[in-house]
Amino acid sequence: MRDFLLRSNKFLTTVLSLVVSLVARLSYRSTALAILLFLIMMYPLMLSEYMSDLQLLAMMFQSIGLLALGAGILLIALLIAGLTWLGGKFKGSRWRRLRAP
C-alpha cells in the first residue's frame, strides 16, 4: 500500500508540474500562481518518506485537488483566448455592421 501511494504521489506531481508549466506560459500573472501550486505540492513530497499511510493518502487527495485547480485555470484561460480570437474574427463581418447604429 505504501509503495502504491508513493508512486501515485510522484506520478501526480509529475502531471501537476506539466500543468504548472502550461499555466506559467499563458501570462506573467499566472506564473506566480503556478509556482505557488508547485511549491505547495513539492514540500510534502520531500517529506513523504517520514509520513504514515494516512498522511500519504491525504497528500494524494491534495494533489488531485491541486491538479483539478490547475486544469480549471488552464481551461478558463483557453476559453478566454478562444473567445477573444472569435471576437477578432467577426470584427469586420456583415453581422457586426448590421448591429452598428
- The predicted-structure confidence for 43-83, as pLDDT tens digits, reads as follows 666 666 677 777 777 877 877 887 788 778 878 888 888 88
pTM for the predicted model, two decimal places: 0.49
Alpha helices in 1-101 (DSSP H): 2-26, 28-46, 53-89, 94-99
Q: What is the pLDDT of residue 60?
A: 76
- Rounded to the nearest 10 degrees, the angle between the axes of helix 53-89 and helix 2-26 is 20
Residues of the chain with pLDDT > 90: what percent? 0
Domain ranges across the chain: 2-74
